[in-house]
């Protein structure tokens, strides 16, 4: 296999997007092409992942221009595993949307925009160049603007307004940081920057660039002082769209932060403390926000903020163990956040409402379904053999080794409040009695759906639950991968050498 | 807007401007021009024609929804990027045919990319203008 | 030249951020545009302003000689302009629809209607 084929996942998403644009008005073709395309995407990602795992980093120089000058595409173990996780989430959301979205809504070009979004996401994983990363991010936010306003209700527009404004400001800051980096080093290639940044005389300006980068991506990632847009907007679009947003969008930001801060903006002890403090505050504020909400999707939105803190904490502690924890948590979080937003869609279909006041009776009427949604919800808390448990252990171990007891406390507190919140949700939604609800007009109850539609609601949740179970019970294998990724991140020499072709 | 002078002029101007846009598209690799500019000029030609007559006249003239040009153009441009992969070259490597032609110069994947951009620009511009014009007509 | 551009960039950032922080929807979008242009100008400035030759290798030479201009900043700026053009167009349409539906032009009057708990 030649290294140039690492671009295939991006091309597959592009092809699906174009195909579904051609079938502008035939939504059934769009649904089929979306599902088949994502299956192929997943298969190719798996092949690439195992190839990278066996043979090491793949590098492709765009346009055949050698490394620091051209656009470089890189696939190392970290990005390859992110591609696989993206493929899993993307496939689940494809199936979920194909079944759950009514024709009227799907006609508003959901599938093309969705695949352009996945194109941007998979592109940002293989980008080996800071400006290229920026371009993929812009593609992501343009597509996400399209998705968040889809349908265009009043509430949705208001949510979108906050989302759009904050993201535009964040992009500008990101671009400003790129300008500084280019001005200081004359290069934008990630590997080349890793060589050149330590040689820059004016390290203060490097810190400013790093700060701007952190703020710009921090807004997109929703870390502590910059997270208010997320709970204000993520509960407004359809569940399928919230699922892909909650699962992947903020996590791409985390990926970029981990990549860049481990390569050249290496956090010194002061920056590490600042990042740790921000992570701790993100955990605490997110947990407190989730605790007081009384709406399923708002609870989940706040939990996204809260759990971003775990990954940022790993970056703040910055040791191999902690980074392994952060990376493992990243994988777990993408799967689980996609899954719980789909669960919220399922709960809505059954109860006709999102607020705690009107939901209930799941165990009474659908005992099998309540066992199914137990898996994602309990994995989210991190109850021992399930998937959330292992990365937290790594993070706590890293915190204790680094004498960062404050962050350990925050992690424990965040986990505890998640437990209480999900427990409350569980009691309300599953164990309590069914409430009488005035359904909205034209509401189609779960029982009125066709068999295929019901399958499309349940199967993706089951699929991602199986993945979560694998993360939990196959933790040994996953820990192995996470450790390898963390070691590669801590010692990026191999990464730099394979891109710059130096010996 | 529908004056006789503009109407008569537009009938003759439109083919000329369209031709000019193709000229700009083809010379774009080494000289000023290219797909983006060519596409804009082509859409100006159609818009002038539309304003001189009525906006639906463009629709009658081109006979299909301009939105279809967007995926067509994207697939052309993508093809230019993907084609080198079949020759075991990295993405976006320029492939060139031997031989040189007047105006166009060498033919290669860059031209394919420009043609794609041309279609996307025409499609996007006309789609936006149509939807705005339709909204105005409703009001 | 550098000093003037640096001052101008700073002014544009300040003006953009000031306008974004205002309550009016129109000022918000104007602020975003100014902010975007400011960052493009910053790339131009930090890319190094040289009065050099175009970076084209002559026919009988194998490498660039003499003082030549860096071709990359303009490519970066062009990309950034196209991207921000698309984003700003989207934001404008969004604000217009928000204005049509909500009928207000002031951020303070846009409050999320909390569902009855």
| C-beta separation of A314 from A323 below 8 A | yes
User: What length is written for chain A?
Assistant: 503
Q: From the CA of A157, how many Å to the nearest CA of chain C?
A: 6
Which member of C40, C42, C76 has the closest CB to residue A131?
Answer: C76
Contacts of A419 (CB under 8 A, 6+ apart): A381
The continuous run of DSSP H or E covering B48 comes out as helix B35-52
Position A343 scores a pLDDT of 92
Rounded CA gap, B59 and B62, in Å? 5
Band of residue B139 on the pLDDT scale cut at 50, 70, 90: low
Total structural domains in chain A? 1
The full DSSP string for A128-175 is -BHHHHHHHHHHHHHHHHHHHTTT--HHHHHHHHHHHHHHHHHHHHHH
The pLDDT score that the predictor gives to residue C62 is: 80
pLDDT higher at C117 or B33 = B33
**Does the complex come out with an ipTM higher than 0.85?**
yes
What's the confidence (pLDDT) of residue A107? 62
Per-residue pLDDT at A438: 67
**Closest by Cα among B32, B37, B62, B33 to B129:** B62
Reduced to 3 states (helix: H, G, I; strand: E, B; else coil), residue A458 is helix
- Determine the length of chain B: 139
Nearest to C91 among A154, A164, A354 (CB): A164
| CA torsion through residues A275, A281, A283, A289, sign | negative
- Taking the C-alpha atoms of residue A25 and residue B131, their distance in angstroms, rounded to an integer, is 17
Q: For every one of its 117 residues, what pLDDT tens digit does chain C have, with 9 covering 90 and above?
A: 889 999 999 999 999 999 999 888 889 999 999 999 999 999 999 888 877 777 777 778 788 777 788 888 888 998 998 888 888 888 888 888 878 776 666 766 665 544 433
- Rounded to whole angstroms, how far apart are CA atoms A160 and C93? 12
pLDDT above 90 coverage of chain A, percent: 54
- Which of A290, A443, A278 has its CA nearest to residue A358? A443
Contact C83, C39 (CB under 8 A): no
What is the pLDDT, as a whole number, of residue A450?
83
Q: In angstroms, what separates the C-alpha of B92 from chain A's closest C-alpha?
A: 5
Query: Which stretch of DSSP H or E encloses residue A58?
Result: strand A58-62
pLDDT > 70? residue A41: yes
How far apart, in whole angstroms, are the C-alpha atoms of residue B36 and residue B114? 7
Say if residues C90 and A144 touch (Cβ distance below 8 Å).
Answer: no
The backbone region for A360, taken as left when phi is positive above 0, alpha when psi lies in -120 to 50, beta otherwise, is left
- Give the long-range contacts of residues C33-39, CB within 8 A, separation 24 or more: C33/C84, C33/C88, C35/A168, C35/A169, C35/A172, C36/A168, C36/A172, C36/C80, C36/C84, C36/C88, C37/C12, C38/A172, C38/C9, C38/C12, C38/C13, C39/A172, C39/A175, C39/A176, C39/A179, C39/C13, C39/C80
Q: Does C110 contact A at CB distance below 8 Å?
A: yes
B124 touches chain A (CB under 8 A): no
What is the distance between the alpha carbons of residues A168 and A216, in angstroms, rounded to a whole number?
Answer: 10
Cα–Cα distances in angstroms (integers) from residue A485 to residues A82, A279, A384, B79, B96, in the given order: 11, 21, 23, 34, 40
C-alpha distances out from residue B111 to B136, C76, C90, Å: 37, 22, 30
Of A89 and A429, the one with more pLDDT: A89
Print burial letters for A224-249: b (CB count within 10 Å at least 16), e (below 16).
Answer: bebbebbbbbbbbbbbbbbbbbbbbb
Tell me the two tokens of residue B68: 């279809």
A160/C94 CB distance under 8 A: yes
d(CA A147, CA A134): 20
pLDDT (tens digit per residue) in A362-400: 888 888 888 998 999 999 988 888 888 999 999 999 999
Which residues fall within 8 angstroms of residue A5, CB to CB, at 6 or more apart? A48, B85
Domain that holds residue A346: 3-500
Percent of chain A with pLDDT over 70: 97
The pLDDT of residue A319 is above 60? yes
Hey, how many other C-beta atoms are within 10 angstroms of the C-beta on A105?
A: 15
Using an 8 Å Cβ cutoff, are A219 and A169 in contact? yes
Helices and strands in chain B: count of H runs, count of E runs:
5, 2
What is the average pLDDT score of chain A? 89
Return the DSSP state at A448.
Answer: G
pLDDT at A26: 79
Measured between CA atoms, how close is A174 to chain C, in angstroms? 10
B131 touches chain A (CB under 8 A): no
Q: Is-contact A375 A299, C-beta < 8 A?
A: no
Give the residue from C29, C39, C96, C113 with the most A CB atoms within 10 Å of its CB, the best one to mutate: C39
Q: What are the tens digits of pLDDT across the range A123-169?
A: 999 998 999 999 999 999 999 998 888 876 777 888 888 888 899 99
- Could you count the other beta carbons within 10 Å of the beta carbon of residue A264? 25
Q: What is the pLDDT of residue A382?
A: 86
A208 in contact with chain C, both atoms CB, cutoff 8 A: no
Which of B14, B16, B15 lies closest to B52, judged by CA? B14
B70 interfacial to chain A (CB closer than 8 Å): yes
Is 60 exceeded by the pLDDT of residue A499?
Answer: yes
- What φ, ψ does residue C112 adopt, rounded to 5°? -70, 130
Which sign does the torsion angle of CA B85, B87, B89, B91 carry?
Answer: negative
Does the pLDDT at position A184 exceed 60? yes
Domain boundaries, chain C: 2-50+69-102
Measured distance CA(A307)–CA(A297) in Å, rounded: 15
* CATH code assigned to C2-50+69-102: 1.10.287.3510
Q: How far is CA A207 from the centre of its chain?
A: 27
- Asked if A4 and B89 come within 8 Å (Cβ–Cβ), the reply is yes
Q: CA A321 from chain center: how many Å?
A: 21
Q: Residue A468 in contact with residue A376, Cβ under 8 Å?
A: yes
Token pair for A111: 């599938």
Structure tokens at B110: 């860059």
**Number of residues that make up chain C:** 117
Domain spans of chain B, in order of start = 4-138
Say whether A165 and C20 touch across the interface (CB within 8 A). Answer: yes
The phi and psi torsions of A62 (rounded to 5 degrees) equal -60, 135
The C-alpha torsion from A295 through A297 and A301 to A304, rounded to 10°, is 120
Please tell me the distance from the alpha carbon of residue B56 to that of residue B133, in angstroms, as a whole number.
9
pLDDT at residue C114, as a whole number: 44
Nearest to A138 among C42, C83, C101 (CB): C83
């Amino acid at each position: 296999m030649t290294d140039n084929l690492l671009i295939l996942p991006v091309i597959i998403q592009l092809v699906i997007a174009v195909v579904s644009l051609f079938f502008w008005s035939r939504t059934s073709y769009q649904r089929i092409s979306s599902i088949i395309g994502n299956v192929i995407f997943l298969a190719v990602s798996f092949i690439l992942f195992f190839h990278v795992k066996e043979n090491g980093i793949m590098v492709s120089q765009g346009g055949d221009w050698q490394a620091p000058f051209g656009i470089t595409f890189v696939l190392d173990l970290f990005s390859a595993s992110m591609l696989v996780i993206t493929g899993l989430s993307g496939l689940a959301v494809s199936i979920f949307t194909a079944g759950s979205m009514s024709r009227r809504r799907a006609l508003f070009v959901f599938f093309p925009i969705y695949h352009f979004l996945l194109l941007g996401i998979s592109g940002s994983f293989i980008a080996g160049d800071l400006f290229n990363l920026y371009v993929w991010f812009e593609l992501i936010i343009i597509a996400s603007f399209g998705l968040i306003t889809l349908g265009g209700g009043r509430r949705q527009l208001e949510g979108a307004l906050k989302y759009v404004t904050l993201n535009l400001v964040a992009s500008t800051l990101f671009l400003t940081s790129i300008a500084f980096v280019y001005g200081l080093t004359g290069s934008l290639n990630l590997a080349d920057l890793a060589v050149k940044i330590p040689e820059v005389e004016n390290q203060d300006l490097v810190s400013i660039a790093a700060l701007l980068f952190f703020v710009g991506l921090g807004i997109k990632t929703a870390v502590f002082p910059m997270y208010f847009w997320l709970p204000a907007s993520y509960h407004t679009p359809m569940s399928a769209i919230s699922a892909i947003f909650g699962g992947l969008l903020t996590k791409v930001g985390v990926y970029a932060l981990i990549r860049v801060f481990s390569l050249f903006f290496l956090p010194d002890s002061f920056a590490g403390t600042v990042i740790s403090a921000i992570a701790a505050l993100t955990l605490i504020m997110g947990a407190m926000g989730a605790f007081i909400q009384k709406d399923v999707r708002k609870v989940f939105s706040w939990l996204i903020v809260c759990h971003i803190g775990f990954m940022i904490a790993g970056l703040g502690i910055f040791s191999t163990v902690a980074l392994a924890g952060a990376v493992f948590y990243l994988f777990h979080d993408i799967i689980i956040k996609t899954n719980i937003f789909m669960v919220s869609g399922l709960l809505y279909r059954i109860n006709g409402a999102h607020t705690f006041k009107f939901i209930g009776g799941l165990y009474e009427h659908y005992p099998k379904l309540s066992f199914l949604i137990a898996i994602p919800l309990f994995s989210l808390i991190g109850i021992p053999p399930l998937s959330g448990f292992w990365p937290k252990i790594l993070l706590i171990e890293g915190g204790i080794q680094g004498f960062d007891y404050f962050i350990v406390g925050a992690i424990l507190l965040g986990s505890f409040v998640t437990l209480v919140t999900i427990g409350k949700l569980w009691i309300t939604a599953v164990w309590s009695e069914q409430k009488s609800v005035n359904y909205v007009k034209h509401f189609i109850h779960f029982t009125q759906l066709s068999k295929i539609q019901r399958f499309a609601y349940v199967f993706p949740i089951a699929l991602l639950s199986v993945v979560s179970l694998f993360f939990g019970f196959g933790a040994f294998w996953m820990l192995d991968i996470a450790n390898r990724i963390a070691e590669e991140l801590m010692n990026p020499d191999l990464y730099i050498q394979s891109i710059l072709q130096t010996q | 807007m529908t004056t006789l002078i503009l109407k008569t002029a537009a009938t003759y101007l439109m083919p000329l401007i369209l031709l000019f846009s193709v000229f700009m598209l083809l010379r774009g690799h080494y000289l000023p021009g290219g797909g983006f500019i060519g596409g804009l000029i082509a859409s100006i030609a159609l818009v002038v024609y539309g304003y001189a007559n009525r906006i639906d006249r463009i629709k009658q003239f081109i006979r299909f929804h301009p939105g279809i040009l967007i995926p067509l153009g994207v697939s052309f441009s993508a093809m230019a990027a993907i084609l080198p992969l079949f020759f075991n070259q990295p993405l976006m490597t320029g492939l060139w045919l031997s031989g040189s032609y007047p105006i166009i110069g060498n033919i290669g994947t860059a031209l394919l990319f420009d043609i794609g951009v041309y279609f996307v620009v025409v499609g996007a511009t006309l789609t936006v203008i149509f939807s705005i014009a339709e909204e105005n007509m409703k009001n | 030249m550098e000093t003037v551009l640096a001052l101008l960039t700073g002014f544009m950032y300040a003006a953009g951020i000031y306008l974004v922080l205002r309550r009016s929807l129109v000022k918000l979008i104007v602020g975003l545009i100014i902010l975007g242009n400011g960052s493009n100008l910053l790339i131009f400035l930090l890319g190094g302003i040289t009065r050099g030759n175009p970076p084209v290798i002559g026919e009988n030479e194998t490498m660039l000689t003499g003082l030549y201009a860096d071709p990359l900043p303009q490519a970066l700026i062009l990309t950034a302009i196209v991207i921000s053009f698309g984003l700003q167009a989207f934001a404008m349409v969004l604000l217009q629809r928000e204005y049509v539906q909500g009928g207000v032009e002031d951020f303070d009057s846009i409050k999320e209607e909390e569902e009855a708990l």
